Amino acid sequence: MSQLLLVRHGQTDANAAGLLLGRTDPPLNDAGRAQAAAAAARVASFAPERVLTSPLLRTVETAEIVAARCGLAVEVEDRLIEVDYGEYDGLPFAELPADLVRRWRTEADFAPPGGESLASVGVRMAALGAEILGDLGTASVVAVSHVSPIKAAVCWALGLPDLASWRMRLDNASVTRLAPGPEGPVLLSFNER
């Protein structure tokens, strides 16, 4: 079965510490490289024909491990980039102002200062998801991305509002699988580890 295999990047020291990574660009740590190798073994069993990645270092490193396992090259796809937290990039989520967190969780169009809204992530991931699933043919495609874009893709596939992403947990180096269906995208799995 052809499918889109969405892989979240492996762990970095920054996300292990609970920081909002957004567009900050830390590398994988040792645990993250081991997680990426485990994810690579999982997705290689689907014999993908392409490996796409967000342009950020943590996803590129994860994608390189996956691609090496699959005998493929890595292709950068800018739409897979993480949500932009703007002025809050690099800060601990636990230290964000309560009113900001409330707005973020209740207003899909809310964007932090200098940042991006969940709604805009949803738009770009819906377009990318439709493009990839509409063009799959008989082979699978791996897309290495981040927590917010992957959850946005799941919301799109299931016809859920963007804010439903707050109710999903997505672990580092997990695999989420989408496939084309007769009436639209189908969620095959979520947060496989």
CA atoms within 13 A on the CB side of 85: 20
Nearest to 46, CA basis, from 138, 159, 144, 163? 138
Catalytic residue among 61, 77, 82, 116: 82
146 is catalytic: no
Cα gap 114→35, rounded to integer Å = 32
Catalytic residue among 9, 61, 77, 116: 9
CA nearest 90: which of 114, 67, 117, 74?
Answer: 114
> In 28-117, which residue ranges form alpha helices assigned H by DSSP?
30-44, 57-70, 98-106
> Does residue 82 have an active-site annotation?
yes
Euclidean distance between CA atoms 29 and 15, whole angstroms = 10
Catalytic residues: 9, 82
